[in-house]
Amino acid sequence: MRSFALEEVEEDLDEPARVLQGPGVQGTAPAHGEVPDDGAHLVAAGRGPVSGGSSGGTRPGRRLSRRARGLLGAAVAAVLVLVVGGLVVGERNEAARIERVLASPGGVRSLGADVAVLWRIDPVAGGNAPDLGRWSQPILVDGVLVVPGDPVAGYDPVTGKRLWRVAESSVPAASASRSGDQTSCSGSGPRWDRGPVVCTTSDFRPVTIFGETSEEAHLRGVEVIDPATGEVVTSRAVDGETTAATVAFTDGLATFAWGAGGQVVVTLEDLATGEVRWTRELLPDREESAVSARYLQGWPDGDGLRVEATGLSVTLDADGASVGRRAAGSWDSTLPDGGRVSMEGDGTWTVFAPDGRESFSVEGNVVPFDVTDGSVDAPLFVSDGGDVMDAAGTIARPVFSALDRRTGQTLWTGEGPLDRAVAQVGDVGVLSGAGRLWGADLATGERVWEAEGALPYGQSFTDGTDLYLVGQSGTGATRVTAISVESGQVLWATDVPELSTWTFSAGGRLVLVTDEGGLLGLG
């Protein structure tokens, strides 16, 4: 902010400038009794009050000149601009923080003790019957809540309003729905939260696994849907041995089937036209296949297409060529930041960045956060010991370490079991071990609080300030418990009458899937 010298403030007069006299001050003092600038008498430096005329006594202080008043106004305006600007920047930063939280898996808008059901989608609602049994669940794709059913429908997760509904199934083999059929939908890409939506209709056939009778899903039809409009991009019937389908390489539809000779058949078709681009046959390990249950799935894996089957793990490129073969028994898990961890058969974990590049490898049991507030620097935990006995009959004391998500460098270590990394909110991590919750300073590992007693819960969510735990109450209802991340104090606990089998966040709303197959939006 600009500062003003006394000489500058006293300028801008029609008559010659007069300044105070005194030690070190140059200029002409006003004549006795004269009042410059139509103002009050001045106080001369080092002299005491200047009086004039017959009025006597101390005169009031001099009024500011026109320029002084202008400069003072400008200074005040500058301060106001800084204050208002700071408030605007603060509001923008807070808005960006909230947006970041809501974009994170498990991010929800703030809830209060008066949390209630704001909307519901019943098992049969407006001609749309959500088919939420077995492996089928609603998903959030491009901000739309896609509910599998006959037919598939899209909803606004904030209001529960239906946005679109596929008029009727356009899959020839699925047009006559049969008892036991099920529709399942997923998004595309590593996190399955982007369009288009791939919906598959399956029937279930009995199969014997390890001497036990079970069921195996077989696809009969595939629909690819635009989540914004509900328009069916493409649909087709598929071979009865097809077990999975996914969008791959942006504009391709990949299907996975068992061949007559026990081989895995992968086919990539053009998403829009259905034209076959290539077909690839892969041979699983026969010994592994002979002793394990039959399993076949596929999904996008960075720039490749991952194929997982009993005795087979391989990634294909856009031309169908193998770009890597992995040991049997390996599997992947998506991280909250969009990256992933891959466990190999020997117990080694490989951590990948969101762009698909390999970051580091580590041994032990990787424990990622269930939910975060969207911070990119949330550490990754790895635990070891406590469950393996060596040749001497000794069980190592359980320990865990916080690793830098990008480099794998150990930030700090702690002793004791680590069952779950419940949530990361700011610089506090809420961790769970042996049924107890505690808050840890993520920079040092210091315990900042410990919860009193066990808090049973199934899933966790955060609004970037508090932690919400969702579980079952003792009366068969769904209990939502709010905990302060800063102190660990239980703020409130509320029961929702319906029993939830699964809860997820969608558009900042907490959504419950009831045991009857309906959906409830809380707020």
pLDDT number for residue 423: 95
pLDDT number for residue 94: 74
Is-above-0.75 flag for pTM?
Answer: no
> How many domains, in total, are found in the chain?
1
Angle, CA 235 vertex, CA 234 and CA 239 arms, to 5°: 135
pLDDT number for residue 4: 40
Burial class (CB in 10 A: 0-12, 13-18, 19+), 104: buried
Is the residue at 33 inside a domain?
Answer: yes
pLDDT number for residue 287: 75
pLDDT number for residue 300: 84
pLDDT digits (tens, 9 = 90+) for 216-247: 677 888 889 999 999 998 888 887 788 888 88
Cβ–Cβ under 8 Å, residues 423 and 106: yes
Burial class (CB in 10 A: 0-12, 13-18, 19+), 307: buried
DSSP bridge pairs for 462: 107, 467
Task: Give the closest residue to 104 by CA, choosing from 351, 309, 370.
Answer: 370
Cβ count within 10 A of residue 115? 17
Is the residue at 26 inside a domain?
Answer: yes
Is the residue at 126 inside a domain?
Answer: no
pLDDT number for residue 180: 58
Is the residue at 186 inside a domain?
Answer: no
pLDDT number for residue 162: 94
pLDDT number for residue 160: 94
- Give the separation between CA 339 and CA 450, rounded to whole angstroms: 30
Structural domain including 35 reads: 1-102
Is the residue at 234 inside a domain?
Answer: no
* Under-70 pLDDT residues of the chain: 1-72, 74-91, 124-136, 168-180, 190, 207-211, 214-216, 288-293, 325-331, 345-346, 386-393, 395
Is the residue at 391 inside a domain?
Answer: no
Is the residue at 270 inside a domain?
Answer: no
Is the residue at 40 inside a domain?
Answer: yes
- Give the separation between CA 232 and CA 222, rounded to whole angstroms: 10
- Give the separation between CA 458 and CA 499, rounded to whole angstroms: 12
